[in-house]
Amino acid sequence: MMRVIHSVHSMSTSARAPLPPRRTLLRHATTLACAALLVCACSGDGSDSGSGSSDAEETSDSTDAPATTGEGTTDESATQTTTAGETLTSDGSDGETTAVEPTFTFHRDIRPVIAASCEQCHTPGNIAPFPLTSYEEVYELRELVALTMLNRQMPPWLAGGDCRDYEHDPSLPQETLDMVETWVAEGAPEGDPDDYVAPPPPPSTELPSVDFALTMPEPYTPVGAPDDYRCFIIDWPAEGDTYVTGFRAVPGAVDEVHHAIAFALPPEKLAEYEALDAAAPGIGYECFGGPGGEISSPDDIGVWLGAWAPGAAPSIYPEGTGLRIPAGSKIILQVHYNVPADGAVPDQSGVELMVADSVEREAFMMLWADVEWLWGQMPIPAGSPSTVHSWELDPTAVMGFLTDVIPSNVPIELHSATHHMHTVGVRGNHTIKRQGGDECLLEIPRWDFNWQNGYVFEAPALLNPGDRLRLECEYDNSAGDSDLNWGDGTGDEMCLGIYYVTEASP
Ligand code: HEC
């Protein structure tokens, strides 16, 4: 076997080694060092780890030159990669050099993965901060690319692996991660562009049909930098009760709309929001994570239609089910803008909906939180690295109080779960507790406020009277200098489960 590449080692073995200058990624210096450690720790050949510290400065200076040129290899006496993609190695004892075929090359093995799993966001003008479309771009960031894949930060998907199966799970299989790791360890050779076979196109993020396409009444140019959280009120066109059967957010300016959540507020709840809108200058009003009003009971949020982040599949509710929207309702679209460095542009985002006049089983979007939290009983002390709040209750016992759609004390099915916390949240878990054995619904080992998505179960979870639904949230407020509690502002926290619920099928 060939020796493991030193550009990776040089970073891990010497804290002195200055990281190569990176236009956009200086803030990731620590992450990069971790990437190196991680790649080293997992690679098969650990024998020469620790040997690179003496030439660390020289090697890290040259890490940005692609391996194919031969000039840029980090330690020429140990490894060179030729344009043919062969790697010349020496065992270091007799100085003899032999050609070794690289196990994986960019064009044959890595590029199809990047094209299938990364390019939808990492293209110029899209949501990700840099493109990953050419060999040079991927090569320059190879350690960070490997790290974010190995620790499952990219492609973005917060659900932990062994909880349950979800639709549209973009997680990469372990073999692919092993392959990327080996490719980086062997110097990230380019190989032959003719070896590239394009992967099948990614699944569509569009609805199969669109009944209503609604947009913000006029464009809005975000003002907060880099983040602006704003709510927009959109008229609901249908007369009479209508059932939403599918939902998708349609970002206007794709490089600045980071996530969106749509709520439908019934006529009797609208006055508060219209007052907020009227009081704020310009279109819309500031809001964070919710529709922006006082939330003293879960139904103050209205009907949660769906959360959307870039790359997310559209929400198509289970066949024969839908959410009832009364006539006279309005949609409140909550948008998180993350303004790119080169400035804000006007955005006019919207939502697309599939609707039906009637459905076989009316669904209820259940918001799950301990009502005591909403009354200020969710303290997260300043300086605390780990505060856990959890709560469990049999939802079937209270169902009749939560909604007029499903009576109390009947079996229900949960079809999807969404987790919602703000920025101090670090971990979340949703579990059905029952005598025959607990059932995991959603485990989020590393919460990231930027990736608000619903997780649709491949098979619905049955919850019988007597079963309890448990929600747990963990927070790290070690950097904070004030105590936090439940609230809707950027400086507040939440712990909310959102489930698409129907009566169990007979
Ligand atoms: C759904 C959109 C999306 C997809 C798919 C995606 N990325 Fe990203 N990526 C982003 C965004 C947005 C950021 C910047 C914000 C963040 O880090 O969350 C980012 C950041 C990154 C970073 C920088 C990480 C850091 O710590 O700053 C790397 C590296 C990266 N992506 C690699 C990849 C790779 C490799 C893939 C495919 C395996 C991929 N991404 C797929 C949207 C995406």
CA of 254 to the centre of ligand 1 (A): 15
> Do 205-359 and 362-506 share a fold?
yes
The CATH topology of domain 205-359 is Jelly Rolls (2.60.120)
- List the chain residues with pLDDT less than 70: 1-99, 289, 295-298
Give the pLDDT score at 53: 36
Tell which atom from ligand 1 comes closest to the C-alpha of 310.
1
Tens of pLDDT, residues 65-109 = 454 433 333 433 334 444 444 444 444 444 455 567 899 999 999
411 neighbors 464 (Cβ within 8 angstroms): yes
CA of 418 to the centre of ligand 1 (A): 21
Domain locations in the chain as residue ranges: 61-195, 205-359, 362-506
Ligand 1 in contact with 311 (CB < 6 A)?
Answer: yes
Residues across the chain: 506
Ligand 1 in contact with 112 (CB < 6 A)?
Answer: no
Ligand 1 in contact with 188 (CB < 6 A)?
Answer: no
Tens of pLDDT, residues 26-71 = 233 333 333 333 333 333 333 333 333 333 333 333 344 454 433 3
Ligand 1 in contact with 251 (CB < 6 A)?
Answer: no
Give the pLDDT score at 297: 67
414 neighbors 501 (Cβ within 8 angstroms): yes
Measuring CA to CA, which residue among 140, 128, 135 is closest to residue 20?
140
Q: From 3.40.50.2300, 3.40.50.300, 2.60.120.200, 2.60.120.230, which CATH number describes the 362-506 domain?
A: 2.60.120.230
Tens of pLDDT, residues 405-459 = 999 999 999 999 999 999 999 999 999 999 999 999 999 999 998 888 889 999 9
Q: What is the mean pLDDT of the chain?
A: 82
The model's pTM:
0.80
Buried b (16+ CB within 10 A) or exposed e, 33-52: bbbbbbbbeebeeeeebeeb
| Pure H helices in 352-467 | 371-374, 395-402
Give the pLDDT score at 201: 87
**DSSP per-residue string spanning 238-307:** --S-EEEEEEEEE-SSTTTEEEEEEEEE-GGGHHHHHHHHHHSSSSSEE-SSS-SS--SSGGGG-EEEEE
Tell which atom from ligand 1 comes closest to the C-alpha of 138.
35
Q: How far apart are CA 24 and CA 450, in angstroms?
A: 19
Token pair, residue 70, equals: 């031969």
Give the pLDDT score at 298: 64
Give the pLDDT score at 5: 29
| Integer-rounded Cα radius of gyration of the chain | 26
